[in-house]
Structure 1
Amino acid sequence: MAIVTNGIGLGHLAADAVLSGGGRLAQLSPEALAAFDMLLPEGWQAGNPLSLGPAAGARLAEAAAMLAALPEVDSVVALHAPAAEGAGEVAAEAMIAAARAGGQRAAPVLVSWSGQATAGRQRQAMAEAGLAVFRDARGRGAGRPAPGARPPQPRRRGRACPRARWLDLAPDRTAVRRILEAARAEYRQALTEEEALGVLAAYGVPTVPGRRAAGPQEAADAAAMLGFPAVLKILSPDLRHKSEVGGVVLGLSTAGAVRAEAEAMLARVRAKRPVAQIEGFLVQRQAAPALELRLRLGDDTMFGPWIGFGQGGTAADLAEDEAHDLPPLNLALANQLIARSRTARLMAGFRDHAPVNQSAVARVLVRLSQVAVDFPRNRGADPQPALCRQRAACWPADAHLMLRPEGSAGSSPSRLYPAELARSLAAALGRGPDDPAGAPEDAETHG
């Protein structure tokens, strides 16, 4: 880790915390240290921690970005102690501007902003801009949880799990490329719900059967084909939460009811969102009652792609129950992600909530994380709600997927196990082609 600060006392506290926690301070080369001379007050020497003096201001963000780009640095901690009036505001605005600038992603930058009277507002502003910000030098009092934050031990355990817990994936990547190319050809960043579910299905994620319908009569015909009870949903790229405008209706038991509800739904949506583009309907066979979960892919300014798990349903944003990890995941890491959420206690069974199939949820998380690995141009995916029952599969009833703007580069997660190298590596080690030598879950077996 590299530490940069406007107060050397804070820098020493952070260095002590790094070392006592088992971390290492980055050894900066003389050439790297020389690059910071222009940021230092006259007569000061560069080192790690790097102290810029009380009047650091915007130089704190500049130095953090420079440290993050060094190959010998894995992560940066930028610390700010209360300074002269206005200096903290300038420093915070510079940190926010650096986060929004993005560019080529390097080492993550964690921010510690001490104080309360003015620092509290500054921490809040930085948190809202996507920075992982804390209130002291030991990383306590986060403004928001960093998406990838987790102790290192669970990751090491995940890489050492038995071979039986390795999930063999064989996605239809060609089908996904066709879906994404069709969206880009139409200059769309948002996939339709049908397309997003198609991407998940190509990765082996079970989805609720459904058909697209252009109008009310076609919706009635689709429902008759799929079976009853049916669910009717409006299709529109402008309606992120369809339930807010009456764009979702459950429990339709006849074709006539589907047709009548489709006509009424069109009238409701056009009255509430007159400028929304309506592309038809999605008709699905209604699933039996189940626990609703939220499974998400997202992209963080510093950490890159992340995967989230927690409570689903219309009240998910209010519950604020979501654990995060960084892809790629294997089954062990997926189960650890589930265990870090409060929803895990419901999944085990509670009062009138029957236990649900956690292994099925973990498999969906692994497959979802693989989408991020294979297609880093995706900006985020939200298969929500995912419905899960006891001794049954876990399947998304709804999904959203966003692409990055054309020409925008994403950060590619590392691969836990590069399957395309299996044959050549096995041959080099004298193993058969079916022996997945070096798979992360086999770390203890193969050494």
Structure 2
Amino acid sequence: MTVRNIDALLKPRSIAIIGASRRAGSVGAVLARNLFNGGFDGPIMPVNPKHEAIEGVLCYRDISELPVTPDLAVVCTPPKTVPDIVRQLAERGTRGVVVITAGFGEGNDEEGMALRQATLDAARPHLTRIIGPNCLGILVPGMGLNASFAHLAPPKGRIAFVTQSGAIVTSVLDWAERRNIGFSHMISLGDMADVDFGDTIDYLANDPNTRAILLYVEAITDARKFMSAARAAARMKPVIVVKAGRHAASAQAAASHTGALAGSDAVYDAAFRRAGMLRVDTLGELFAAVETLASTEPPAGDRLAILTNGGGIGVLATDALIGHGGQLAELPPETIDSLNEVLPPTWSHGNPVDIIGDAPGKRYADSLSILADTQDADAILVLNCPTAVADSMDAAEAVIAEQGRQRSGRGHRPTLLTCWVGEHTAQNARRRFAEAGIPSYTTPEGAVRAFMHMVDYRRNQEQLLETPPSVPELFTPDYETANQLVEKAAAEGREILSEPEAKQLLAAYGVEVVPTEVATDADRAAEAADRLGYPAAIKILSKDITHKSDVGGVVLDLEDADAVRHAAEGMQRRVSETYPDAELQGFSVQPMVKRAGAWELIAGFTEDEQFGPVVLFGQGGTAVEVIKDQSLALPPLNLKLAGDMISRTRIYRQLQGYRDRRPADMEAIELTLTRIAQIAADLSRVKELDINPLLASADGVVALDARIRIGENGQGTRRLAIRPYPRGLEKTVTADDGQHYLLRPILPEDEPALHRAFAHLTPEQIRLRFFAPMKQLSHMAAARFTQIDYNREMALIITDPDKVPGEAELYGAVHIHADPDGEKAEYSIIVRNDLTRQGLGRLLMEHVIDYARHRGIGEIDGDVLRENQPMLALCRQLGFEEHVDPEERDVIRVTLPLATDTGGG
């Protein structure tokens, strides 16, 4: 379940308070007071056998006496009573329950955990949804619902705030009251026994009264549901999150550099970024970010121009900008010349544009007008500090007037932010900026942080819709070899694959590796080196030693057989002295790989407790854990996502090349990361993979050393937070004319092919499919069709079997989009005009129906224009039922109930 019956919690028509009280200071009394005084327009029924009336309203002795079945019940009775209360409510038909009470397994208390499970068992047969336990409650100011024991009631607004912590709700209420900030919803989820972040995000994403969603997150329970909900919501409205526990240590001991580096907070960071959400550090930044995003468009880039009447605050803003990864805009000579004409000779002649402390309003307006005309700044931050020789309010009014003139114009206009420093005069200025819809901040650092939040938000949004480049060639991994290697090690009770086995597995997935042989003793090591060539490198093979360099277990640049033999004997001696109980299986021998100007990188993945496999990339070498230059991403990856991942590291700029050092082959690095991500998706036994170093140069990449840890067979793709490309749906199909095609799920790389296919449609086909004339398909529409969440959507296409995505043509496509509960899915279908009457539409529909049945979707439906007789005829052949709305007789609703089998991952 996800949004099922959430409306009973957040839009109830009637409410019961189980445990309502008149005892001063009790939770039951505060709940009753808040509910009765919130303005809710519906019956509120207190239940408590000890009272005749509460807040002047008749009190009922038990649930059976209630005159009507409540949509929502708020429970604040002792923990042991809650399971039976929920059972009674559920059996009566109550669809939503808020459990305020604590004592349901906090700290893993066994008795509390049993009560928690009993409560869920009582609710689930009747699909009754539960918020809590151990929560502060819920507030929906727009309908006068205050089912909480909060001390304040916020005004109606368009911001939804969802949190695990009840204490955070009261803190935010205090913070917001002083600023007159209103809310559409305030939801305290507590222990999230049932309703969690994914459920509430799904609901709020489609709520027309919610403009932005703010989250305070301590932990995620269902990562895939959360990611699907967040990715969908972030395409519709800002989703901004504060994550508590940023500096918590990783709870899992790791057997690889990758596992050691991928701390849990960095994984959350990667998840939020992939979902298109904006992460901020504090509650103050949370609300500042939403106010900024609500009042202005995010800037197109990270170049900031600073206009100030004080050099000191301009420097503070510049320091903050550089520290947060932004860029100081470089003003072109013509802009400098224009500023020279309106500013005194003593101005700064650069960015920051210091217009001197005596600057009147006109000087501000003239300078702002010139800066706004430049194409070299994405945003302008206007600063003002109070002086005795200039009027700060005059400057504020001049900026407001100039911004009004700019808004009425056309073309490129940088985003405008303001910061009037101080209290007395600055307060009035900030009030005027708020009235004019111009973001304003109290400190230069706060203004810069807000600017960078907008930059990050735009980047995340663009990443959601950016079309990745096509892969250079078709590639199919050698699954059989990879599986045999993993299963052989598992059968032998080994947790770590040998280095040669790890390299074999990488090679099976197309990752270039250095040739490696295994030798059981020093003499055989010398013989192997003779075959492979010199100079050679040898390394110890021992399942008992995690890092070979700890015992001098790696020796490089050996020039002949004697040197190899001597190095091997020395390794044996050091291992026996340092780790006498360690078993030495032998040595791996390989030729030295010499690539001029190469960089040592690290790439791999580990498995996170919440989000499953997480891919890591960064600067490699023996000091990798000291350098800590890495970025993380959730699989699956394409070339664009891999490139973004690389760009977030410090070594990225070096990889671009400098002086006489040629740039690294970035496509080869990106391909390697996508294939590592594919291993993570395909092989559930592989828990950690570590390539260190991955040698990268202008000539490509090669894995010099690799380490793979395996474990229990996981839940297939279910363990991934983002459902990967479902390769099992690929199949060859034959059209009525005998032509063979590939039927497969759509990929983001298919967007160019989708545009080409759209060009083959006739105006009549477009009207019948889209219910309106269209000359072309926008990038956003095409991106939303190709960049789908396979967990909730599926688009099957018919395409060329022998070309890579993007270059292959798209001849037909069918798309279904399921509701978050998976009860129903709406379909749409299109076939190129030049390929109609070849049975492609029937093939697409038959396969998508089979897919929906397997996924457990209960019904497929769609709207068809009455005049689209070929589509209606196909629906009749497939068993669809037809329904006509008397008010829309031109549109026929077709539905197909499905007998479902067990769903897949």
Do the aligned partners of 2:605 and 2:677 also contact (CA within 8 Å) in 1? yes
Aligned counterpart in structure 2 of residue 203 of structure 1, from 474, 496, 509: 509
Is 1:49 the counterpart of 2:195? The answer is no
Partner of 1:11: none
Q: Deviations over 1:104-146 (max 9, x none)?
A: 9753797644xxxxxxxx6534666754387423569xxxxxx
Is 1:379 the counterpart of 2:687? The answer is yes
Is 1:63 the counterpart of 2:186? The answer is no
Q: CA separation in 1, counterparts of 2:601 and 2:165?
A: 46
Do the aligned partners of 2:542 and 2:582 also contact (CA within 8 Å) in 1? yes
Q: CA separation in 2, counterparts of 1:104 and 1:443?
A: 28
For 1:322, the aligned partner's letter is Q
Is 1:107 the counterpart of 2:226? The answer is yes
Do the aligned partners of 1:171 and 1:202 also contact (CA within 8 Å) in 2? yes
Q: CA separation in 2, counterparts of 1:51 and 1:181?
A: 41
Do the aligned partners of 1:213 and 1:283 also contact (CA within 8 Å) in 2? yes
For 2:96, the aligned partner's letter is E
Partner of 1:15: none
Q: Deviations over 1:336-371 (max 9, x none)?
A: 211221111111112464321111111111111110
Partner of 1:283: 589
Aligned counterpart in structure 1 of residue 751 of structure 2, from 436, 439, 443: 443
Q: CA separation in 1, counterparts of 2:568 and 2:749?
A: 49
Q: CA separation in 1, counterparts of 2:599 and 2:682?
A: 29
Do the aligned partners of 2:690 and 2:708 also contact (CA within 8 Å) in 1? yes
Partner of 1:161: 468
Q: Deviations over 1:60-92 (max 9, x none)?
A: 895246444865646998749xxxxxxxxxxxx
Partner of 1:36: 131
Partner of 1:185: 491
Shift of 1:36: 2.3
Shift of 1:308: 1.3
Q: CA separation in 2, counterparts of 1:215 and 1:68?
A: 57
Do the aligned partners of 2:165 and 2:190 also contact (CA within 8 Å) in 1? no
Q: CA separation in 1, counterparts of 2:747 and 2:496?
A: 35
CA separation of 1:443 and 1:437: change in aligned 2, threshold 3 A: farther
Do the aligned partners of 1:210 and 1:282 also contact (CA within 8 Å) in 2? yes
Q: CA separation in 1, counterparts of 2:514 and 2:655?
A: 21
Partner of 2:177: none
For 1:226, the aligned partner's letter is L
For 1:161, the aligned partner's letter is P
CA separation of 1:53 and 1:440: change in aligned 2, threshold 3 A: closer
Do the aligned partners of 1:295 and 1:307 also contact (CA within 8 Å) in 2? yes
| TM-score, normalised with respect to structure 2 | 0.38
Structure 2 gaps, min length 5 = 4-93, 99-128, 139-145, 149-159, 170-187, 204-212, 231-240, 253-262, 269-279, 290-455, 755-781, 783-905
Alignment of 1:236-247 (within 5 A): 236-247=542-553
CA separation of 1:52 and 1:336: change in aligned 2, threshold 3 A: closer
Shift of 1:420: 3.9
Partner of 2:518: 212
Aligned counterpart in structure 2 of residue 293 of structure 1, from 592, 596, 601: 601
Shift of 1:226: 0.4
For 1:337, the aligned partner's letter is M
Is 1:411 the counterpart of 2:719? The answer is yes
Shift of 1:157: 4.2
Q: Secondary structure at the match of 1:385?
A: strand
Q: CA separation in 2, counterparts of 1:378 and 1:77?
A: 36
Do the aligned partners of 2:164 and 2:191 also contact (CA within 8 Å) in 1? no
Partner of 1:85: none
CA separation of 1:288 and 1:369: change in aligned 2, threshold 3 A: same
Q: Secondary structure at the match of 1:333?
A: helix
Shift of 1:233: 0.3
Q: CA separation in 2, counterparts of 1:307 and 1:355?
A: 23
Shift of 1:166: 6.0
CA separation of 1:443 and 1:64: change in aligned 2, threshold 3 A: farther
Partner of 2:247: 124
Q: Secondary structure at the match of 1:239?
A: coil
Q: CA separation in 2, counterparts of 1:416 and 1:406?
A: 18
For 2:705, the aligned partner's letter is D
Q: CA separation in 1, counterparts of 2:626 and 2:734?
A: 49
Shift of 1:413: 5.6
Partner of 1:252: 558
Do the aligned partners of 1:111 and 1:131 also contact (CA within 8 Å) in 2? no
Q: CA separation in 1, counterparts of 2:715 and 2:727?
A: 27
| Deviates further, 294-303 or 401-410 | 401-410
CA separation of 1:256 and 1:103: change in aligned 2, threshold 3 A: farther
CA separation of 1:254 and 1:127: change in aligned 2, threshold 3 A: closer
Is 1:393 the counterpart of 2:700? The answer is yes
Structure 1 vs Structure 2 CA RMSD: 4.0
Q: CA separation in 2, counterparts of 1:327 and 1:435?
A: 24
Aligned length: 384
For 1:45, the aligned partner's letter is A
Structure 1 gaps, min length 5 = 3-28, 81-94, 114-121, 141-148
Do the aligned partners of 2:729 and 2:744 also contact (CA within 8 Å) in 1? no
Q: Secondary structure at the match of 1:49?
A: strand
| Deviates further, 351-360 or 174-183 | 351-360
Is 1:433 the counterpart of 2:579? The answer is no
Q: CA separation in 1, counterparts of 2:202 and 2:677?
A: 23
Aligned counterpart in structure 1 of residue 651 of structure 2, from 331, 335, 343: 343
Shift of 1:153: 3.1
Q: CA separation in 1, counterparts of 2:243 and 2:222?
A: 23
Q: CA separation in 1, counterparts of 2:641 and 2:714?
A: 32
Partner of 2:805: none
Q: CA separation in 1, counterparts of 2:675 and 2:734?
A: 24
Q: Deviations over 1:381-401 (max 9, x none)?
A: 1111001121x2211101111
| TM-score, normalised with respect to structure 1 | 0.73
Q: Secondary structure at the match of 2:604?
A: strand
Shift of 1:288: 0.2
Q: CA separation in 2, counterparts of 1:219 and 1:74?
A: 60
Q: CA separation in 1, counterparts of 2:551 and 2:165?
A: 53
Q: Secondary structure at the match of 1:283?
A: strand
CA separation of 1:185 and 1:328: change in aligned 2, threshold 3 A: same
CA separation of 1:221 and 1:408: change in aligned 2, threshold 3 A: same
The structure whose RCO (Cα within 8 Å, separation 6+) is larger is 1
CA separation of 1:38 and 1:366: change in aligned 2, threshold 3 A: closer
For 1:287, the aligned partner's letter is V
Shift of 1:242: 0.8
Shift of 1:49: 3.0
Shift of 1:434: 5.5
CA separation of 1:65 and 1:199: change in aligned 2, threshold 3 A: farther
For 1:124, the aligned partner's letter is H
Q: CA separation in 1, counterparts of 2:659 and 2:163?
A: 55
Higher strand share: 2
For 2:495, the aligned partner's letter is Q
Q: CA separation in 1, counterparts of 2:468 and 2:615?
A: 21
Q: Deviations over 1:206-259 (max 9, x none)?
A: 100110000001100000000100001001112222112110001111111111
CA separation of 1:48 and 1:389: change in aligned 2, threshold 3 A: closer
Aligned counterpart in structure 2 of residue 224 of structure 1, from 519, 522, 530: 530
Shift of 1:103: 9.0
Shift of 1:280: 0.3
CA separation of 1:54 and 1:169: change in aligned 2, threshold 3 A: same
